[in-house]
Amino acid sequence: EIVMTQSPGTLSVSPGERATLSCRASQSVGGNLAWYQQKPGQAPRLLIYAASTRATGIPARFSGSGSGTQFTLTISSLQSEDFAVYYCQQYNNWPLAFGGGTKVEIK
Amino acid sequence: QMQLQESGPGLVRPSETLSLTCSVSGGSLLSYYWSWVRQPAGKGLEFIGRIHASGSTNYNSSLNGRVTMSVDTSKKQFSLKLTSVTAADTAVYYCARGSDWFNPWGQGTLVTVSS
């Protein structure tokens, strides 16, 4: 079973700054990784799949990179609506698994 | 646009069976996989399992064989049953479209296991 580890647990960023979130898999997942955003009281929203492909309607300030065991989600210039919890998820191996999340908070 | 909506009891007694239904609107249920994910309060996401419109299923073994999923294409619904529940099964349960990544998601429904 693949374990997904996200870091940091909490990231404090000022609006307009860049945020870099990391996700590490316990073994290679190739490029089979997705990222989600979740705001309080809401369902997760798909941001990125296939490690770097933005889902429909996702702003260009969100970008994903990486392969194998190391992945990054970058938010180029944080907007007020971007403060949320972000989860990575691998779909290369069964069972599908999520990371523990990174909370992006206002600095 | 496609929308998903979970429904079912918000309170389940310990040792009983949790039953939820997800209704799909704004699109076809056919040719897709449909999944269930849960989230205990203040915690992360756990994948429960998936079902294809054909009825083929895959379950996360972490649920120790307690999961059954079904689909009713005529009603555009799919369902989750989780048997022998305990307090550890208390969570928000989400339905979602997809077998790999998930999009879209339902709004989620809180199920509390308590006597």
Comparing alpha-carbon positions, the chain B residue that sits nearest to A35 is: B101
DSSP per position, A4-61:
EEEE-SEEEE-TTS-EEEEEEESS--TT-EEEEEE-TTS--EEEEETTTEEPTT--TT
pLDDT at A71: 98
Q: Which of B91, B107, B106, B99 is nearest to B10 (CA)?
A: B91
Which among A45, A87, A95 has the least Cβ separation from residue B44?
Answer: A87
Comparing alpha-carbon positions, the chain A residue that sits nearest to B43 is: A100
Give the residue from A32, A96, A98 with the most B CB atoms within 10 Å of its CB, the best one to mutate.
A96
- What CA–CA distances, in Å, run from A8 to A1, B51, B76, B115? 22, 34, 40, 38
What's the gap between Cα A68 and its chain centre? 15
A14, A106 Cβ separation under 8 angstroms:
yes
pLDDT at A104: 98
A83-107 mean pLDDT? 97
Q: Name every chain B residue with its beta carbon within 8 A of the beta carbon of A51.
A: none
A84, A77 Cβ separation under 8 angstroms:
no
Residue labelled with tokens 């210039």 = A77
What does pLDDT average to over chain B? 97
Q: Which of B95, B67, B65, B93 is nearest to B81 (CA)?
A: B67
A75-79 mean pLDDT? 96
What is the per-residue pLDDT across A37-64, written as a single tens digit (0 to 9) for each?
Answer: 999 999 999 999 999 999 999 999 999 9
- Does the pLDDT value for residue B78 go beyond 90? yes
pLDDT at B54: 94
pLDDT classification of B31: cutoffs 50, 70, 90: confident
Q: Produce one character per residue of B31-52: b if its CB has 16 or more CB atoms within 10 Å, e if not.
A: ebbbbbbbbeeeebbbbbbbbb
pLDDT at B52: 97
Distance from CA of B17 to the nearest CA of A (A): 23
Query: What residues does B57 pair with on adjacent strands?
Result: B51
Give the residue from B45, B57, B97 with the most A CB atoms within 10 Å of its CB, the best one to mutate.
B45
pLDDT classification of B7: cutoffs 50, 70, 90: very high
pLDDT at A62: 98
pLDDT at B38: 98
Inspect the interface and report whether the beta carbons of B101 and A34 lie closer than 8 Å: yes
